[in-house]
């Protein structure tokens, strides 16, 4: 593991521990909740990017007419 990988793992572990403490849940539950949030956020960004691309494409077609 590189130094950068180690630093990122430490930051993730710290985030999980802080979240768990703030919400009175286990580290395992905190990991699951944060992973779920991350997945939903990624899917949302993909949806936004896809919608924006579709709108831009439509706009270009309208301008071309």
Q: What pLDDT sits at residue 25?
A: 95
Residue with tokens 């936004």: 48
Query: Domain residue spans in the chain?
Result: 3-64
Contacts of 42 (CB under 8 A, 6+ apart): none
Judge whether residue 48 has pLDDT over 70.
no
CA angle 40, 22, 4 (to 5 degrees): 65
Q: Assign 63 a pLDDT band (cuts: 50, 70, 90).
A: very low
Q: What is the pTM of this model?
A: 0.57
């Amino acid at each position: 593991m590189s130094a950068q990988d180690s630093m990122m793992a430490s930051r993730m572990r710290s985030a999980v521990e802080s979240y768990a403490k703030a919400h009175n849940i286990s580290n395992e539950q905190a990991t699951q909740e944060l992973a779920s949030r991350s997945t939903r956020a990624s899917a949302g960004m993909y949806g936004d990017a896809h919608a924006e691309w579709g709108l831009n494409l439509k706009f270009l077609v309208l301008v071309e007419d």
